[in-house]
Structure 1
Amino acid sequence: MRPPKLRGVEHLFAAAGYSINGGRRLLREPAFRHEILFGAVLILVLAIQGASAAAFLIQLVLLAILGAIEAVNTAIELIVDRVSPEFSAFAKHAKDLGSFAVFCLLVANAAFCAAVLFKDSTSFL
């Protein structure tokens, strides 16, 4: 039996709780913990470089997107493993595509940090 739909402020608090639970679940993933370390290194490098506030903001947004994509990738993996516990080429493709999305964001984060580090004097960053 499904619980009743919440409305108004109750829904807002329930949604916040679901998000917190999702974050806790994601913290159990080694890949996500590695991405947190990766992000901390990028932020530290920007701090040592003396990057602008705009560069920090852009990097933090890219890292947040990386976290969101990792959450979606983890959700895909969980669903695929539940629906198809045996080996399936279809399941492998779904997982590989999720992994590729995470990889793209890792590259984007590293590329942005590198662009800030190697900027020329005319750059807005």
Structure 2
Amino acid sequence: MTAGVEKTQVKGMKRVINATGYSFKGLTAAWKYEAAFRQEAVLAVLLTFVALILPISSTEKVALIACVVFVMVVELLNSAIEAVVDRVGMEHHELSGRAKDMGSAAVFLSLCLTFGVWVTILFL
């Protein structure tokens, strides 16, 4: 952007439409470039179907599905962290490694949470 030129702020429905487009670009990029996201998306579809047909309450169905979606959200954030770190530089740096490890840990914790919720609702 040139100095002294202000970016025009988009407001109202146009902003919502633009934001929706950016979101779909992000989902498309995750599907295209992130194997883990593809695996989790396929699993999410399968587990959502299972949750919907199980003879459990609506609240329990929502909890099961919400956990699965939460894993995908965390995976998207982890992928974003990895993309930014890789953009900065491919050489090894302690802070870059730490950021990637923490993102991976967040995915792991979301998977543990999901597993715990599914086991609790289905077996306890």
For this structure pair, what is the TM-score category when the shorter chain's length is used for normalisation?
0.7 to 0.9
Query: Aligned equivalents of 2:15 and 2:116: distance in 1?
Result: 39
* Structure 2 unaligned residues grouped into runs of 5+: none
* Structure 1 unaligned residues grouped into runs of 5+: 120-125
Partner residue, 1:18: 22
1:27-75 deviation line (CA, Å, top 9, x unaligned):
1211011112333443354456423221110112112222111111111
Give % identity: 31
Query: Aligned equivalents of 1:111 and 1:37: distance in 2?
Result: 20
- When normalised by structure 1's length, the TM-score is 0.83
1:67-118 deviation line (CA, Å, top 9, x unaligned):
1111111110000001122111211110000010011111111111111121
1:87 lines up with 2:97 in the alignment? no
CA RMSD of aligned residues (A): 1.9
- When normalised by structure 2's length, the TM-score is 0.84
Aligned length: 119
